[in-house]
């Protein structure tokens, strides 16, 4: 699985997922730090990534295409250690949902 981590989430999340066997990169690593949501979504579709984001605008964008997946992080504002702890608890379940083809997976 390949994940692209959106701007509102820390680079540390990409490193965390990489340590769990996921090919994960942050938007800053591919020149999309200032990109519009549409451009980020197109990149995800073109390169076969799962987007990990806090941005609910991707609900609308994903409904406009027949492919593409994203993880919608709905944890509110939290520090990086707390975010990583939450991902530690739920990632295997989220990954299973993505692997079976769910297009949107919420993390709360």
- CATH no. for residue 83? 3.40.1400
Question: What φ, ψ does residue 88 adopt, rounded to 5°?
Answer: -60, -40
Report pLDDT digits (tens) over 9-26: 999 999 999 999 999 999
Confidence at residue 25, expressed as pLDDT on a 0 to 100 scale:
99
Residues 104-108 have a mean pLDDT of: 96
Number of structural domains, the chain? 1
**pLDDT above 90 for 104:** yes
Confidence at residue 1, expressed as pLDDT on a 0 to 100 scale:
96
Angle at 101 between CA 76 and CA 47, to 5 degrees: 80
Report pLDDT digits (tens) over 21-49: 999 999 999 999 999 999 999 999 999 99
Confidence at residue 65, expressed as pLDDT on a 0 to 100 scale:
86
- The domain in which residue 57 lies consists of 2-107
């Amino acid at each position: 699985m390949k994940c692209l981590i959106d701007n509102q989430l820390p680079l540390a999340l990409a490193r965390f997922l990489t340590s769990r066997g996921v090919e994960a990169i942050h938007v800053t690593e591919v020149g999309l730090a200032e990109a519009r949501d549409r451009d980020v979504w197109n990149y995800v579709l073109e390169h076969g990534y799962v987007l990990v984001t806090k941005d609910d605008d991707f609900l609308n964008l994903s409904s406009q295409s027949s492919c593409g997946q994203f993880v919608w992080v709905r944890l509110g504002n939290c520090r990086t250690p707390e975010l990583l702890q939450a991902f530690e608890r739920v990632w295997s379940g989220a990954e299973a949902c993505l692997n079976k083809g769910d297009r949107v997976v919420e993390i709360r």
